[in-house]
Amino acid sequence: MRTSTAIRAFAFALTVAGLHSAPALSQAYPAKPIRIIVPFPAGGGVDYIGRIVAKGLSERFGQQVLVDNRPGANAIVGLEVLKAAAPDGYTLAAASAGPLAVNPFIYSKLPHDTLKDFTQIANMVNFPLMLVAHPSLPVKNVKELVALARARPGEVSYASPGSGNSSHLAGELFNSMAKVKILHVPYKGMAPAVVSAVSGEAHILYASIPPILPHVRSGRVRALGIGNAQRIPSMPEIPTIAEAGVPGYEAYAWAGMIGPANLPRDIVMRLNKAIVDTLNQKDVIERMLSEGTVPTPSSPEEFIAYMRSELKKWGDVVRLAGIKPE
């Protein structure tokens, strides 16, 4: 009897200890460095926001937060690394509309599902797309670009960071709405696409503003229009593409933070709060707006709802553009 009583008492003690240790383990997060995968090369818009948020998380958590660029296969490589990671909050990814909302419609055998294989943590930012042209192209505005493209179908080209991303579909949407045929030239990431536009290898580019703005300011490329519905307050001299010659046109990119599937709710909320707090800082807001980037911090639930709406929107655009799944 004494042995039985002792065993029961020991088991009860273990249960109580377990109940107390579970929250303790959760409260210890993060207890080591966090990795944020950016499935694109360094220098693009997603890399830009990934590094801003990494710095903010590091300051709030007191842990090192590293950006790990894993480009390849239109972001599939980096997202597969995330999918295989443990759902413990130490491997995250900053990803954009292209891999999350467009890839499902352009790849017939995509190895992951946007909603099932990842945990949505927070939307972070909208990237208004800027249409720029190399100075060698004899156009100074959107109307002149449309006229030139109609006069020389297939001879004008536009660069993009790869097939199926927001920049690519922005170009296809422009082609469809302006009734022109501008040739798509895909590159492996935004940085090489920017180099192509700056060098004149491709004639035009639809780019998120942070990586292209320095080249606009230096005169290496000419800004023709913004893909947003309204002009950007920090650069009011640049018209929207809709008002400059293609009525109703609107195209922009976005980036959000995701984790592996089944990320614990308490970790999701801790990360969400740190991300939202970072993006709501006055200096961060001012810096991003001055560079043509719009902070859009959200709750996990708002991000999930937005993701569903984006999947529908870009699925419709892919069908409109006649892009066939690979």
> pLDDT tens digits for 89-142?
999 999 998 899 999 998 999 999 999 999 999 999 998 899 999 999 999 999
- Flag whether pLDDT at 240 surpasses 80: yes
Residue 17 inside a domain? The answer is no
Segment 10-29 shows an average pLDDT of: 50
Q: Would you say 303 and 97 are in contact if contact means Cβ atoms under 8 Å apart? A: no
Are 180 and 283 contained in the same domain?
Answer: no
Are 140 and 243 contained in the same domain?
Answer: yes
Give the H/E segment covering residue 148: helix 142-151
Are 247 and 268 contained in the same domain?
Answer: no
pTM: predicted TM-score of the whole model, two decimal places: 0.79
Are 135 and 51 contained in the same domain?
Answer: no
Are 42 and 113 contained in the same domain?
Answer: yes
Number of separate domains in the chain: 2
Q: Tally the C-alpha atoms within 13 A of residue 62's C-alpha that lie toward its C-beta.
A: 3
Are 132 and 244 contained in the same domain?
Answer: yes
Task: Tell which of 233, 252, 271 closes a domain.
Answer: 252
Q: What CATH number corresponds to the domain at position 96?
A: 3.40.190.150
Task: Tell which of 252, 268, 285 closes a domain.
Answer: 252
Residue 237 inside a domain? The answer is yes
Residue 1 inside a domain? The answer is no
What span, in angstroms and rounded, lies between the C-alpha atoms of 41 and 68? 10
Residue 55 inside a domain? The answer is yes
Task: Tell which of 211, 232, 252 closes a domain.
Answer: 252
Give the whole-number percent of the chain exceeding pLDDT 90: 71
Domain that holds residue 225: 128-252
46-71 per-position pLDDT tens digit: 999 999 999 999 999 999 999 999 99
Residue 10 inside a domain? The answer is no
Residue 8 inside a domain? The answer is no
Q: What CATH number corresponds to the domain at position 194?
A: 3.40.190.10
- Flag whether pLDDT at 23 surpasses 50: no
Asked whether the CA dihedral 15, 16, 19, 23 is positive or negative, the reply is negative
Are 103 and 33 contained in the same domain?
Answer: yes
Are 106 and 79 contained in the same domain?
Answer: yes
152-206 per-position pLDDT tens digit: 999 999 999 887 788 898 999 999 999 999 999 999 888 899 999 999 999 999 9
What span, in angstroms and rounded, lies between the C-alpha atoms of 326 and 324? 6
Are 61 and 95 contained in the same domain?
Answer: yes
State the Cα angle at 56 between 93 and 292, rounded to 5°.
Answer: 80
What span, in angstroms and rounded, lies between the C-alpha atoms of 89 and 230? 37
Are 174 and 95 contained in the same domain?
Answer: no
Strands 294-295 and 118-133, how do they pair? antiparallel
Strands 252-260 and 91-96, how do they pair? antiparallel
Residue 16 inside a domain? The answer is no
Are 123 and 260 contained in the same domain?
Answer: yes
What span, in angstroms and rounded, lies between the C-alpha atoms of 251 and 205? 13
What span, in angstroms and rounded, lies between the C-alpha atoms of 211 and 40? 13
Are 133 and 242 contained in the same domain?
Answer: yes
What span, in angstroms and rounded, lies between the C-alpha atoms of 326 and 28? 44
Residue 11 inside a domain? The answer is no
